Chains A and B, each alone.
Chain A
Amino acid sequence: MNNWNFQELKETPSQTGGPYVHIGLLPQQANIEVFENNFNNQLVQDQTKGERIRLEGQVFDGLGLPLRDVLIEIWQADANGIFPSQADTREQKADPAFHGWGRTGADFETGIWSFNTIKPGATAGRKGSTQAPHIALVIFARGINLGLHTRVYFEDEAEANANDPILNSIEWAPRRQTLIAKRSEQNGEVVYRFDIRIQGDNETVFFDI
């Protein structure tokens, strides 16, 4: 009977990243010097176009305590909303001084994480729509069996957010607020605060992408 199914492979199943995820993905945070070029949380080069921002926050568990062993990655478009990826099928060329991706670990003491990046431009949505500026973010950690995907939007883009197709697909309107980062200025630097609550009150929206 099983032969009635045509042969398609199953995706390799996920497993937790575990408590020592830094060894492989951020060896510098585990004090291991092996690679000449380490990946990190700095997405901005001198020639990168766009408004410099710092994105920072903490990730909280179901008791409201920060995860101090969490690993976070972000993926975003450049200042014009173009992804530095072959799979971006639009004709425009992405900023050659922007890689679009970064990785960091929460501080082992405080649980605070951050990225230095640029504010992305609005990018194309499905069927000719426009997506509000956003950053895709994924978290991996001990106790998390499958990486949790979410998105970061910006509170000073209220009009674009109101028209964003993904935000509007969240039926429980109050939950949309969990995806909006709060803007402040600290010592002349623009900072967006984005706290992630994995479980419980004000639980962050996570996506199956």
Chain B
Amino acid sequence: MSQHSWGAYAQRNTEDHPPAYAEGYKTSVLRSPKNALISINETLTEVTSPHFSPNLFGPKDNDLILNYAKDGLPIGERVIVHGYVRDQFGRPVKNALLEVWQANASGRYRHPNDKFIGAMDPNFGGCGRTLTDENGFYIFRTIKPGPYPWRNRINEWRPAHIHFSLIADGWAQRLISQFYFEGDTLIDTCPILKTIPSEDQRRALIALEDKNNFIEADSRCYRFDITLRGRRATYFENDLT
């Protein structure tokens, strides 16, 4: 094994992401910069990132079925979600903090600002977190969220989705996104998903049914992999410091 000296992260390909201003998603109109982003050469500030100790985590932090259950189980479809976090060069991303949040089976969020008529579930909280392992693998268990209506156009509905956040090895990898479930017909009409310019990249947010990992008489399973930016190695001058 050669002694790698790590250079900067490969630059973000902006065409693989939504633009800031996307008028079909109306809230973005007043919340997007008018000026172009200023690209900078990375320094130690951008290639470093906080570390999270496994000791911080409780035993049910990645079990959304049980981590808020009070007097019984939450109502809804029992599903396991698992997959791998890798960088763009295919390397596993180890000990990354993955955080998730979602609505309950009705499409209702446990949040003071959500007034949707869909019923609350007293046994469902809707948040979880975990660290990826040595292979970049993560797993959590939850209730499949319902779709929900929102005010963009008046009759807009989100597909079922789970929000996720990653803090990994470098600040430049910081990412928040959402994943969807294979076969949901609302995927084709969602203006938030449509902010992503390419079909391939929209499909990269769809978790796939993983039949071989269903657990009989218990839970179904979805597979969802995540890719973060990767660092190039340096074999000649290292200008980072």
Q: Is the CB of A24 within 8 A of B205?
A: no
Q: Does A194 contact B (CB under 8 A)?
A: no
User: Which residue of A has the minimal Cβ distance to B127?
Assistant: A24
Encode B170-182 as 1/0 by CB contact (under 8 A) with A. 1110111110000
* Interface residue? B241 (CB, 8 A): yes
Q: Distance in Å from the Cβ of B192 to the closest Cβ of chain A?
A: 6
B67 is contacted by which of A34, A85, A90, A127 (Cβ under 8 Å)? A34
Residues of A86-118 at the interface with B, using a CB-CB cut-off of 8 Å, are 86-90, 99-101, 108
A126-143 near B? 1/0 per residue, CB < 8 Å? 111001001010101111
Cβ-defined contact, A11 with B227, below 8 A: yes
Name the A residues within 8 Å of B183 (CB-CB). Answer: none
**Max count, chain B CB within 10 A of own CB: residue among A11, A141, A166:** A11
- Cβ < 8 Å to A, chain B residues 49-66: 49-51, 56-58, 61
Please indicate the chain B residues that have their CB under 8 angstroms from the CB of A146 in the complex: 17-18, 20
B17 and A145 within 8 A (CB): yes
Chain A residues closer than 8 Å to B29, beta-carbon distance = 62, 143
Please measure, in the bound complex, the distance between the C-alpha atom of A84 and the C-alpha atom of B14, giving whole angstroms.
Answer: 29
Contacts of B56 in A (CB 8 A): 37
Shortest beta-carbon distance from B71 to chain A in Å? 16
Query: What CA separation (Å) do A195 and B112 show in the bound complex?
Result: 26
- Which of B30-38, B72-80, B213-221 lies at the binding interface? B30-38
How far is the CB of A172 from the nearest CB of chain B, in Å? 9
* Residue A156, interface by CB 8 Å: no
Residues of B within 8 A of A124 (CB): 43-44, 241
Closest residue on chain B to residue A8 by CB atoms: B88
Q: From B17, B43, B239, give the contact of A13 (CB < 8 A).
A: B17
Residue B175 contacts which of A14, A16, A63, A73 (CB distance < 8 angstroms)? A14
Residue A185 at the chain B interface, CB threshold 8 Å? no
Contacts of A83 in B (CB 8 A): 44-45, 48
Q: List CB contacts (< 8 Å) of B174-225 with chain A.
A: 174-178, 192-193, 195-196, 200-202, 204-205
Given A34-B125, A126-B41, A145-B20, A198 contacting B177 (CB threshold 8 A): no
Contact present for B127 and A32 (CB under 8 Å): yes
Known A9-B90, A87-B47, A126-B241: A144·B13 in contact at CB below 8 Å: no
A86, B45: Cα distance in complex, Å: 12
Q: How far is the CB of A135 from chain B (nearest CB, A)?
A: 9
Q: How far is the CA of A198 from the CA of B35 in the complex (A)?
A: 10
User: Do B39 and A35 have beta carbons less than 8 Å apart?
Assistant: no
Question: Which of B38, B201, B229 is close to A206, meaning CB atoms less than 8 Å apart?
Answer: B38
Residues of chain B lying within 8 A (CB to CB) of residue A72: none
Given known pairs A12-B226, A24-B163, A143-B25, the reply for A87 and B176 (CB within 8 Å) is no
Contact between chains at B171 and A209 (CB < 8 Å):
yes
The complex places the Cα of A198 from the Cα of B127 at a distance, in Å, of 29
Residue numbers in A under 8 Å from B241 (CB-CB): 89-90, 124-126, 128
Distance (whole angstroms) from the CB of A122 to the closest CB of chain B:
11
| A131–chain B nearest beta-carbon distance, Å | 6
A11 touching B240 by the CB < 8 A rule?
no
User: A207 contacts the other chain (Cβ, under 8 Å)?
Assistant: yes
A15-B101 contact in complex given A9-B86, A9-B90, C-beta closer than 8 Å: no
A-B contact pairs, 17 of them (CB 8 A): A8-B88, A9-B86, A9-B89, A12-B228, A15-B177, A23-B101, A34-B61, A34-B67, A37-B57, A67-B31, A77-B44, A86-B169, A87-B170, A90-B44, A136-B46, A175-B35, A206-B38
Residues of B within 8 A of A (CB): 6, 11-14, 16-20, 22, 25, 27-35, 37-51, 56-58, 61, 67-68, 86-90, 99-102, 109-114, 125-129, 163-165, 167, 169-172, 174-178, 192-193, 195-196, 200-202, 204-205, 226-229, 239-241
